[in-house]
Amino acid sequence: MTLPLSAPDTQLVQTAQAALGAGDITAAAEALAKLSVDGARHPHALFFASQVLIAQGRMAEARVMLEALTTLLPMNPHGWNALGNLASEEGNPKAAAEAYARAASLDSAGLDFWLNLASAQIDLRNFAEANAALNSAERVTQADPRQWVLRGLAERGLGNNQAAIDACCRALDLEPGNVAARHNFAEALRALDEQEEALMIIGNADGLPEVSRNLRAHLLADLGRFDEAVTTFKQVIARQPELADASASLAQVLPQIGRGAEALDGFRTALKVRATDRDLWLTAIATAKDIKQADQLIEWCGDWDKRFGVDPAVTLARGIGHALKGERTAAIDIMRGILRANPEAPGVHGHIAPLLLAEGDWDAGEHHALEASRLSPRDLSGWAWLTVAWRLKQDAREEWLADYDRLVMPVDLGMSEDEIAAVAAALHPLHKTSNHPASQSPRGGTQTPGILFDRAIPEVQKLATRLRLAINDQIAMLRSDETHPFLSRLAGGISFAGSWSVRLASAGFHANHIHHMGWLSSACYIELPPEVAAPEAGLAVPPGVLQFGVPDETLGLNLTPRRIVQPKVGSLVLFPSYFWHGTAPFESQSPRMTVAFDALPAGF
């Protein structure tokens, strides 16, 4: 049983409460410090003391206070709700959801408890559970705009974009100025390829919160209004430099409009004013690595070490930077140093293997590729390097792992010329940039952003359906092998893990590469220049062909293709994602356009 506060303690708690309401944390702390021993243990005092500690950034101490409060009053939902708020503030949505669920179970009429629970479930990407909490909230009321904003987020997470739009409209009917509803509405419209309407909903950049201004920049880029997009991204970075997506997105856009030298300027600006922001530094380092700006990558890794101390992931990134510069000895030394401290780091094994193969140490390269495949079998880098190591060593296991004759699978989609032409006409307007993404394999061409098969374009959706049927038919003909990295994962269907279109211009090609987190990869031919569709006879490597078995040319291994596939409009080529593949350059006035995707086996 909790005894009531004494009159002096009651006055001190009320003083602390008033000071907290006025934002005077110091006065609130001073009042609570004067409480008697018994008063300081009272639930009211514990609650306000926790709020003072949270305001001071002393989260661990605040948690002790709130846990004591919920122990004293386990049936009081407000204590559990406060504990959930703290967990949410600490970035622990799982603990937050558990606390909010406890609060809601104690008071099913408490709207805030259900809304907080839904929000935590959304953070956990448990969208169905979020909708269940929102159903309970609706039994309390349907007139709070917050519940419809959250409903919009949950439906977006479930891929129900029209339901998300309906929920956001409901929120805006209740509160026309609701910024979150307007933002989520625009996000849902963007997913439905309604960028112009999304821009109207998000409104003018003036007065927008930076996260919405950032969305506006993305919409402008989607529409090919790149100068405006760049300006808007820069505005976001200037106003809220910790919003790393703005700098990362700018770094992806600028190389595609011929301004690659400026790609990392957003991060350079942000890091000057957020020099102690670890997450921002990590995103900057990852982006520099992704777009292969080696000098900046090495410099930032060194800056990280000085500011925060050595981190193996950052050290590996520095090694990758040296590898990108062709400084293989330095890269190998760095990676060996990491492995001495952590011999079971799969990413390091996967990165050091090709460097050793290029240096002629085939046994060591094979060893590290084997370790990478053992430690992280679903990351296909190790398997990809084993195809090279075993080929160099003339090891018969190459044929088992990379059976190009059987596992490179051309398929005729059976689509008419008119159907293919309709797909091509739908794809051309999506290629709005002038250059390829710095992080991707095309050279001398462009690639569509985002996930192509998520686009609400009838011709694209029809093609995706046709592709899914063709894939299912093809993999049904394969025999399972539990020891094989590809054949051991055959299932009753597939899910698309990524999809895009590439349009190459004259002299364009795909650099040799793999898709290290895929399972099944592809090339579907939509449009081919005559020089590629009907090449001259007698050429060893005809222009524009798809070739397999040649690794990254920067390694200088000078291996010839194991298999060459002649492209054909309306055909699909399927192959394991760890197969090295690329294309030969071509010369033509006409573009070479493909659709490609990665797929994962259903249930994996």
Q: Which residues are 547's β-sheet partners?
A: 564, 582
Helix (H) or strand (E) holding 601, with range, is strand 592-601
What 3-state DSSP class applies to 336? Answer: helix
In the Cβ-directed half-sphere of 121, how many Cα atoms lie within 13 Å? 24
Q: What gap in Å lies between CA 383 and CA 28, rounded to an integer? A: 61
CATH number of 292-399: 1.25.40.10
Contact residues for 531 (Cβ-Cβ < 8 A; gap 6+): 543, 544, 586, 587, 588
User: Pairing mode, if any, of strands 571-576 and 546-548?
Assistant: unpaired
Distance set, CA 296 to CA 267, 287, 304, 397, 436 (Å): 11, 10, 12, 40, 20
Of 180, 187, 182, 160, nearest to 169 (Cα)? 182
Q: How far is CA 9 from its chain centroid?
A: 52
Residue type, 351: H
| CB-count exposure of residue 163 (10 Å: 0-12, 13-18, 19+) | middle
Locate 298 and state its tokens.
Answer: 């090495």
Q: What gap in Å lies between CA 235 and CA 246, rounded to an integer? A: 9
Distance set, CA 110 to CA 78, 115, 414, 552 (Å): 10, 9, 58, 59
What 3-state DSSP class applies to 124? Answer: coil
Contact residues for 86 (Cβ-Cβ < 8 A; gap 6+): 50, 54, 59, 62, 63, 66
Q: What gap in Å lies between CA 196 and CA 219, rounded to an integer? A: 8
End-to-end CA distance of the chain: 53
Of 83, 87, 52, nearest to 68 (Cα)? 83
CATH class of 406-601: mainly beta
Q: What gap in Å lies between CA 239 and CA 68, rounded to an integer? A: 40
Residues of the chain falling short of pLDDT 70: 1-3, 205, 433-444, 509, 538, 603-604
Q: What gap in Å lies between CA 240 and CA 278, rounded to an integer? A: 15
Q: What gap in Å lies between CA 514 and CA 436, rounded to an integer? A: 17
Distance set, CA 553 to CA 351, 395, 573 (Å): 15, 22, 22
* DSSP-H helix ranges across 124-258: 127-140, 145-157, 161-174, 179-191, 195-202, 210-222, 226-239, 244-256
Q: What gap in Å lies between CA 23 and CA 18, rounded to an integer? A: 9
**What pLDDT was estimated at residue 389?**
97
CATH class of 224-291: mainly alpha
What number of other Cβ atoms are within 10 A of residue 424's Cβ? 18
CB 595 within 8 A of CB 499: yes
What number of other Cβ atoms are within 10 A of residue 27's Cβ? 16
| Helix pair 312-324, 328-341: axis angle to 10 deg | 160
Q: Could you give the residue range(s) of every CATH 2.60.120.620 domain in the chain?
A: 406-601
Q: Could you give the residue range(s) of every CATH 1.25.40.10 domain in the chain?
A: 292-399
Q: What gap in Å lies between CA 319 and CA 352, rounded to an integer? A: 9
**What pLDDT was estimated at residue 435?**
58
Of 242, 189, 251, nearest to 216 (Cα)? 189
Residue type, 263: A
What 3-state DSSP class applies to 343? Answer: coil
Of 436, 487, 432, nearest to 601 (Cα)? 487
Return the sign of the alpha-carbon dihedral for residues 334, 339, 341, 345: positive
Locate 442 and state its tokens.
Answer: 């095309």
Contact residues for 70 (Cβ-Cβ < 8 A; gap 6+): 76, 79, 80, 83
**What pLDDT was estimated at residue 36?**
86
Q: What is the dihedral of CA 36, 40, 43, 44, to 10 degrees?
A: 80
User: Pairing mode, if any, of strands 494-510 and 592-601?
Assistant: antiparallel
What number of other Cβ atoms are within 10 A of residue 158's Cβ? 14
What number of other Cβ atoms are within 10 A of residue 187's Cβ? 23
Q: What gap in Å lies between CA 371 and CA 236, rounded to an integer? A: 43
